[in-house]
Homo-oligomer: A and B are copies of this chain.
Amino acid sequence: MSTTRSTAAGKVLKVLSTFDREHQTQTLSEIAQRTDLPMSTAHRVVMELAGWGAIERGDDGSWHVGLRLWEIASGCPQTQILRDVALPFMQDLYEGTHENIQLAVREGTELVFVERIAGHRSVELLTMVGSRFPIGSTGMGRVLLAHAPRHIQDAVLDAPLRSWTPHTVTDPKTLRGQLVRIRREQVFVSDRQLSESTVAVAAAVRIGRTGPVTAALGIVIAAGNASRARGLREPALRAAFAISDELGRRAKTTG
């Protein structure tokens, strides 16, 4: 009895899980196939989710995440508080650069982009809000990795590192040295590590100036202008400090 119940709830979550970054729109048979559920079961679960508004049907009959689920999920404090605090400072950085300004958090050995500001002139990126990347692959990821617990660092460095471009550092020893430098200098210029066309300038965001690292802030510009990237180290660091200070103040007020 308990198993049946638990299974039914599990199926709901299983169906929801299929709506990931690569499958934002799916037909019923795709959902059935990807969950390994019989069509009739998948249909029933889909209808229940639709009845609640978690998913909606497009004009072509396929399914996507609905506004109701988005509303509930937008209350996620990890993204909401960060976003509220960081956004004005990210706006300042944007106005000063007109580049992509990004904010990401770590989940295990991956990073998740929780906010992005971009204008007409900002360089096109592989990343987007809500997307995940291996933490070792991006400049912001390496900042998060540099401040991650030892077992996370070991998990990343003991596994083969993916080479995204000919410039990607994949040697664990070189990467370990980079992490030491990131912790010392507090800001990091990541040159064409994820894409041939971009350079990221990333800094750690803490809760208070000396508290735990909770996010990474990054400015992403077109590759090929090394002195410009270097010049953005100072503004990136200043903004990260300002966000950290404000997060620290809020933590004190509510804690």
Interface residues of A (CB under 8 A from B): 1-2, 4-13, 16-17, 19-21, 24-25, 44-45, 48-49, 52, 54, 56, 58, 64-80, 83-84, 87-88, 91-92, 94-95, 105, 107, 112, 114, 117-120, 122, 128-130, 132
B64 touches A76 (CB 8 A): yes
Shortest C-beta distance, A217 to chain B (Å), equals: 16
A–B Cβ pairs within 8 angstroms, 16 of them:
A6-B44, A6-B48, A7-B8, A19-B72, A21-B71, A24-B75, A65-B75, A69-B72, A70-B73, A70-B130, A71-B112, A73-B73, A80-B129, A83-B129, A87-B117, A88-B122
Q: How far is the CA of A68 from the CA of B79 in the complex (A)?
A: 11
Q: Are B75 and A130 within 8 A (Cβ)?
A: yes
**Do B9 and A88 touch across chains, with their CB atoms under 8 A apart?**
no
Distance between Cα atoms of A45 and B13 in the complex (Å): 11
Identical copies of this chain, number:
2
A12 neighbours in B (Cβ, 8 Å): 9, 12-13
Q: In the complex, A7 Cα to B4 Cα: how many Å?
A: 11
A3 to B: closest C-beta gap in Å: 10
CB proximity of A214 to chain B, nearest CB, Å: 12
Quote the shortest CB–CB distance from A67 to chain B (angstroms): 6
Cross-chain contact A67 with B76 (CB below 8 angstroms): yes
Complex partner residue of A79 from B10, B70, B94, B119, CB under 8 angstroms: B70
| Nearest CB on B from A245, distance (A) | 13
Identify which of B65, B76, B88 contacts A119 (C-beta below 8 A).
B88
Chain B residue with Cβ nearest A66: B76
**Which of A45, A70, A119 has its CB near the most chain B CB atoms (within 10 A)?**
A70
Top 4 closest A-B pairs, CB basis?
A74-B130, A73-B73, A8-B8, A5-B8
